[in-house]
Amino acid sequence: MSEFEKELKELINRHSMENDSNTPDWILAQYLSSCLSSFAEIIRKRENWYKGTDKDSSDTEDIKEEESQSKIIKNKYTETTKNITKQYKDVTVDIPQLCTNNPLVKKSFVAVVMS
């Protein structure tokens, strides 16, 4: 917690401003501090936009982040698919052996496949 937030927390507490919302004073202090920071960022972006120096860079950053997340998900999917294929490859190989060795299973398996 920054020095500003500590002093704001004390001020909120001193005036019992947390009572109306039933929210701890330190949470309110952090919230108000983040509001001020967000407002300053908005003002900076607005000024840059008016100057023509900010061409909505947040969209570019969002696209890069989405592409990165997409690659991560694709890699996890591919890896999971390979693992599942590897695990069940042995099982699919065993099914024909099971069918040929057990006549009851063979009849049931053929009946299911035919239906």
| 95 falls within a domain | no
pLDDT digits (tens, 9 = 90+) for 36-45: 999 999 999 9
Domain that holds residue 41: 1-55
| 15 falls within a domain | yes
Q: Whole-model pTM? A: 0.45
Angular region, 112: left φ>0, alpha ψ -120 to 50, beta rest: alpha
Cα of 4 vs its chain's centroid, Å: 31
Taking Cα atoms as reference points, which of 18, 45, 44, 14 lies closest to residue 31?
18
- Measured between alpha carbons, how far is 44 from 36 in angstroms, rounded to an integer? 12
Q: How many domains does the chain have?
A: 1
pLDDT digits (tens, 9 = 90+) for 56-100: 656 667 777 777 777 777 777 667 666 665 655 544 444 444 445
| 13 falls within a domain | yes
* Six-digit token string for 21: 């919302």
| 35 falls within a domain | yes
Tell me the average pLDDT of the chain.
Answer: 74
- Measured between alpha carbons, how far is 88 from 79 in angstroms, rounded to an integer? 14
